[in-house]
Amino acid sequence: MKILVINGPNLNMLGIRQPEIYGNENYESLCRKIEDYGREKNLEIEIYQSNHEGDLVDKIQEAYGNVGGIVINPGAYTHTSIAIADALSAVNIPYVEVHISDVTKRENFRQISYIRDKAIATVMGLGTNGYIKALKILMGDNFL
Ligand code: CA2
């Protein structure tokens, strides 16, 4: 089964600032971690990052019929984007919502997620290991 990992705005800046919130790992090393895990488990994984809402919607739409599961960290669009939520509903592909930080312990404006109610799970506060946990959940192997 092919899995699509989607990262939204500013996640390409990981490791550059705010290590106390997002850790020291940079985006390339996050991608390597996901790819290494995929190789170990024989998963076909595509990783995609964009800072643009419409591009993220396009990518979700392109997944229709081609992808068995989605791991998505929409970044700040989590808290604002009905378009991304609608795209995920439209393609009807099981997805896991991921956040590197524990958003429940952060600002009020981060308390809303437009994608949470239809996600099969939400993983947060585990740093970049949360992506691996999300892959395990998608594969039905629910442990970190
Ligand atoms: O915790 C997460 O994974 C977030 O989705 C990350 C988003 C944030 O807007 C969400 O509320 C929670 C931010 C992406 C990374 O932003 C950076 C900011 C400064 C330096 C590096 C990354």
Tell me the per-residue pLDDT of 64-122, one tens digit each, with 9 for 90 and over: 999 999 999 999 999 999 999 999 999 999 999 999 999 999 999 999 999 999 999 99
CA–centroid distance, 117 to ligand 1, in Å, is 20
pTM: 0.96
Instruction: Classify residue 92 by its DSSP letter.
Output: T
Residues lining ligand 1, CB < 6 A?
A: 10-11, 13-14, 16-18, 22, 73, 75-76, 78, 99-101, 103, 110
With beta carbons less than 8 A apart as the criterion, state whether 116 and 89 touch.
no
Euclidean distance between CA atoms 95 and 137, whole angstroms: 9
With beta carbons less than 8 A apart as the criterion, state whether 3 and 45 touch.
yes
Q: Are strands 121-124 and 44-49 parallel, antiparallel or unpaired?
A: unpaired
Q: Which amino acid, one-letter code, is at 10? A: N
CA–centroid distance, 133 to ligand 1, in Å, is 18
Task: Please say if the pLDDT value at position 144 is more than 90.
Answer: no
- What domains does the chain contain, in order, with CATH numbers? 2-138 (3.40.50.9100)
Neighbours of 31 (CB within 10 A): 18
